[in-house]
Amino acid sequence: MKKYTIALSILCTGILLCLVTSRFTVKEVSTPLAEQVLRLHVLANSDSDEDQALKLNVKSAIVDALSPVLSDTTEKAAACQWVSANLDELQTIAAQVIADEGYDYPVTVACETVWFPNKTYGDMTFPCGYYDALRVCIGEAVGANWWCVLYPPLCFVDLTCGVVPDESKDKLQTVLDEDNYNNLFAEDGQVVVRFRILEWLGELFG
């Protein structure tokens, strides 16, 4: 019995060490990509059909306002600078959509560093991790959220066909090294599995 207790203790210690080490891996894996990406995060008031539809309308208005500027932006720093300088205008746009739809929800628009789970855009999978994001919170902001990549501008392309256009991929490839770019394509599923493990560890450690 004592032998099994010792073995179990060793096993638990090994698992704990792996988890502690992986705590840093979660952040490190997404860092090269996160340093070059600006995302958009829109949180609905609730999961009701009406609130979810409102969320999409607000998202569309924000994306339409940003598209002319960010589509031609060549650096993340410039994208972040423009967005930060125009938060009041973006909040006004969101508030107007909400009012036009007949709601009186408050809305906040801010640039924050936010934890994102794994997310697939067409044939590209972005790993979980902390990313800079333009965050739009509608009302209680407890409903299902919507996100995309503002820079490089993946928000501004039609992903209904399930594939990111080559032009958008080219823009992303210019800001990432070869390994990090290739990791976005998980044809064999191995990268996705690794991202799932990292996502679970990130949630475990907060």
Task: Please provide the DSSP assignment of 142-185 as one string.
Answer: -S-EEEEEEETT-TTS--TTS---HHHHHHHHHHS-HHHHHTT-
Question: Between vectors from CA 119 to CA 202 and to CA 52, what angle results, nearest 5°?
Answer: 105
- pLDDT confidence of residue 161: 59
Considering only CA atoms, which of 129, 131, 128, 130 is closest in space to residue 152? 131
Considering only CA atoms, which of 70, 76, 51 is closest in space to residue 143? 51
Question: Domain residues for 149?
Answer: 29-205
Residue 106 forms part of a structural domain: yes
- pLDDT confidence of residue 27: 46
Residue 68 forms part of a structural domain: yes
Number of independent structural domains in the chain: 1
- pLDDT confidence of residue 53: 96
Residue 97 forms part of a structural domain: yes
Residue 52 forms part of a structural domain: yes
- pLDDT confidence of residue 43: 96
Radius of gyration of the chain (CA): 20
Residue 168 forms part of a structural domain: yes
Cα–Cα distance, 101 to 83 (Å, whole number): 25
- pLDDT confidence of residue 107: 98
Residue 100 forms part of a structural domain: yes
Residues of the chain with confidence (pLDDT) below 70 = 1-31, 158-162, 186-206
- pLDDT confidence of residue 124: 84
Peptide bond just before 152 cis, omega within 30 deg: yes
Residue 6 forms part of a structural domain: no
Kindly report whether the global pTM for this prediction surpasses the value 0.85: no
Residue 13 forms part of a structural domain: no
Cα–Cα distance, 39 to 151 (Å, whole number): 7
Per-residue model confidence as pLDDT tens digits over 109-168: 999 998 888 888 778 888 888 999 999 999 999 999 888 888 888 887 765 556 777 887
Element (H, E) at 39: strand 38-43
